[in-house]
Amino acid sequence: MGHKLKITGWVALGVVAGALTTVSLQTVARNSLAPLPLEELQQLATVFGMVKSDYVEPVDEKKLITDAITGMVASLDPHSQYFDKKAFKEFREGTSGKFVGVGIEITQEDGLVKVVSPIEGSPAFRAGLKTNDLITKIDDTAVKGLTLNDAVKRMRGEPNTKVLLTIFRKDENRTFPVTIIREEIKQQSVRGKIVEPGYAWIRVSQFQERSFEDFAKKVDEIYKQDPKIKGLVLDLRNDPGGLLTAAVAMSAAFLPDNVTVVSTNGQTPESKQVLRAAASDIRGLSGAEALKTLPAALKKVPVVVLVNEGSASASEIVAGALQDHKRATIMGSQSFGKGSVQTFRPLGPDTGLKITTSRYYTPSGRSIQAKGIVPDLMVDETEEGSPFAALRMREADLEKHLSSGQGEEKKDAAREKAREEALKRLEEESRKPASERRVPEFGSDKDFQLMQAINHLKGKPVLVSKTQVERKEEAKDN
Strand partners, 245: none
Residue 71's SS3 state is helix
Q: Which residues, in sequence order, are CB contacts of 306 under 8 Å at separation 6+?
A: 233, 234, 235, 236, 237, 331, 332, 449, 450, 453
Task: Count CB atoms within 10 A of the CB of residue 436.
Answer: 7
User: 308, 457 in Cβ contact below 8 A?
Assistant: no
d(CA 1, CA 10): 14
Distance separating alpha carbons of residues 139 and 179, to the nearest angstrom: 9
242 touches 95 (CB < 8 A): yes
Q: What distance in Å separates the CA atoms of residue 57 and residue 288, rounded to the nearest whole number?
A: 55
Per the annotation, the verdict on 338 as an active-site residue is yes
CA atoms within 13 A on the CB side of 299: 12
User: What does each C-alpha distance from 328 to 113, 289, 331 come to in angstroms?
Assistant: 37, 24, 9
Packed helices 314-324 and 244-254: angle between N→C axes, nearest 10 degrees: 30
CA-CA-CA-CA torsion for 324, 238, 441, 286, nearest 10 degrees?
Answer: 80
Which candidate in 214, 324, 380, 447 is catalytic?
A: 324
Question: Can you say whether residue 233 is alpha, beta or left, with left for phi > 0 and alpha for psi between -120 and 50 degrees?
Answer: beta
The neighbour count for residue 291, using CB atoms within 10 Å, is 20
Q: Is 211 annotated as catalytic?
A: no
- Answer yes or no: 313 catalytic: yes
Catalytic residue among 338, 340, 380, 404: 338
Active-site annotation holder among 205, 313, 315, 340: 313
DSSP string, 455-477: HHHHT------SS--PPPPBPPP
Task: With residue 179 as reference, give the H or E element that holds it.
Answer: strand 174-181
On whether the CB atoms of residues 162 and 180 are closer than 8 A, the answer is yes
Total length of the chain: 478
Question: Quick one: which of 385, 471, 470, 467 has its CA closest to 425?
Answer: 385
CB atoms within 10 A of CB 409: 14
Write out the catalytic residue numbers: 313, 324, 338
